[in-house]
Copies of this chain bind each other. A is one copy, B any other.
Amino acid sequence: MTHPRNLAIGMFDSGVGGLTVLHQLAKRLPNEKIIYFGDTARVPYGDKSSQEILRYSIDNANYLMSKHKIKVLVNACNTSAAYSKLQLRQLCPMPVVDVIEAGVKSIVKTTKSQRIAVLGTRATIRSGVYENEILKLLPQATVISIACPLFVLLVEEQFIGHKATKLIVEEYLAPLKKQNIDALLLGCTHYPLLRGIIQEELGNGVAIVDSSSSCAEMVADLLSSKDLEAPLSSLPVKHQFFVSDNPERFAVTARNFLDTQTEVHVQIKSPD
């Protein structure tokens, strides 16, 4: 029987955004093989209802568990994690890590003034999950949450350096003027690609935490503490990419999220 440490890390996202988590994780743990599933047939989750998001999340976890051999499940989609945390932990026999849990842990360590902002999709912000989880750890904190529904598409459409994106960032961040926040959490895995422009808008007095890097750290800690780290490999690890629709488009967009060495061979997921 294969020792669990030799199994892959299973990771899912609504689409391509979770690749920022994969990118960080692959840098941090180069021996780990990652099986990534992007639910491109149903992307984006950010404007869907909570019931639909929960249903999709359970489908995704079941797909990774039934069709692949995984030792950890990483929910790399903030919107999904906002509505499925408890249910996925009940469903899955292996450890589950998600971007929200990781992001909260990290922002709470980062802030000094306890005046914090969180950016996310409309569904993530509507859930109130970031605010609730932060307040559990820092009951005196002020948390300002802002939905930024255009950011995902601006990233996917490669408008990152465009003047229009700068104006849209200004518009969404306007409520933070004079709020004296000292830390801001990027609560969506697409947003790290806009980090530069967000930092410019906020000035250097605000520390930016991204849930993708935090999640990669958390997975590394978990594997180490449970003795689940993959053995050293002399060959470069090949990750696997599966999607529910349109693999060609995924492969094109994925190139913005990953380094040039990562091979992206995308397959359509097998039917249920």
Interface residues of A (CB under 8 A from B): 40-43, 47-49, 52, 149-150, 153-154, 157, 159, 162-165, 167-168, 171, 245-246, 249
User: A168's contact among B40, B52, B164, B171, by CB below 8 Å, is which?
Assistant: B164
Main secondary structure of the interface of A (DSSP, over half): loop
Contact A159–B153 (Cβ < 8 Å)? no
Instruction: Give 4 closest A-B pairs by Cβ, nearest first.
Output: A164-B167, A164-B164, A49-B246, A164-B168
Contact B153–A162 (Cβ < 8 Å)? no
| Sample (9) of A-B pairs whose CB atoms are under 8 Å apart | A40-B48, A41-B42, A47-B249, A48-B245, A52-B245, A150-B153, A150-B154, A150-B159, A163-B167
Return chain B residues, CB-CB under 8 Å to A153: 149-150, 153
Return chain B residues, CB-CB under 8 Å to A48: 40-41, 245-246
Return chain B residues, CB-CB under 8 Å to A165: 164
Return chain B residues, CB-CB under 8 Å to A246: 47-49, 52
CB distance from A120 to the nearest CB of B (A): 15
CB distance from A61 to the nearest CB of B (A): 19
The residue in chain B whose Cβ has the minimal distance to the Cβ of A122 is B249
CB distance from A232 to the nearest CB of B (A): 40
CB distance from A45 to the nearest CB of B (A): 11
User: With A and B bound together, what is the CA distance between A53 and B163 in angstroms?
Assistant: 33
CB distance from A167 to the nearest CB of B (A): 4
User: With A and B bound together, what is the CA distance between A150 and B149 in angstroms?
Assistant: 12
The residue in chain B whose Cβ has the minimal distance to the Cβ of A147 is B157
CB distance from A80 to the nearest CB of B (A): 15
The residue in chain B whose Cβ has the minimal distance to the Cβ of A56 is B41
CB distance from A13 to the nearest CB of B (A): 15
Return chain B residues, CB-CB under 8 Å to A41: 42, 48, 52
Return chain B residues, CB-CB under 8 Å to A47: 43, 246, 249
CB distance from A140 to the nearest CB of B (A): 33
User: With A and B bound together, what is the CA distance between A43 and B153 in angstroms?
Assistant: 14
Contact A157–B149 (Cβ < 8 Å)? yes
User: With A and B bound together, what is the CA distance between A40 and B51 in angstroms?
Assistant: 13
Return chain B residues, CB-CB under 8 Å to A154: 150
Return chain B residues, CB-CB under 8 Å to A149: 153, 157
